[in-house]
Amino acid sequence: MTRIIKVIVLTVLLCLLSISVFAQQPKQTSIVIVEFTKTKPGLYADAMKYYEAGWLKARVEAKKRKYIASYKLWTLGENAEGEWNIMLITEFANQQTFDAVEPNFKKVFAKVAPGEITVNGKTGEDLVTSVMIKKLNAPPFVEK
């Protein structure tokens, strides 16, 4: 009888210890890549078609495969003044999925856009200029 009680107490203590250690693990943080682009004069509509044909299709497929957590394309519109008018956002769930971006997206583009993407004979470089790319890290706040 005392042996059974010792086994039960030891099992409960091990479970509590495991829960305590697991709870102290640092929370993984997401990584967000934001690219700011500027469409070349008169090519906004073609640039949006280009992003729909490649960027968007790739993100939809990458999300299905759990390579990315989320994506957004934000625009200020065709006639926006300033350095950029399109913002492309891709969120990775953690450092591991971010580190695997190149091999993962090679697989994705092989499926969704195996050839060069053009719109009215123009490539991405003909349609937009990449102004800057930023990598953002979400702080590991603990939810309460």
Give the model confidence (pLDDT) of 55-73 as tens digits: 999 999 999 999 999 999 9
Choose among 95, 124, 138: nearest CA to 37. Answer: 124
Domains identified in the chain and CATH numbers: 31-137 (3.30.70.100)
Strand order in the sheet with 70-75: 70-75, 86-92, 31-39, 128-137
CA 138 from chain centre, in angstroms, equals 12
Burial level of 58, CB count in 10 A (0-12/13-18/19+)?
A: buried
Give the model confidence (pLDDT) of 99-136 as tens digits: 999 999 999 999 999 889 999 999 999 999 999 999 99
The model's confidence at residue 17, banded by pLDDT at 50, 70 and 90, is very low
Beta pairing, strands 86-92 & 128-137: unpaired
Confidence (pTM): 0.77
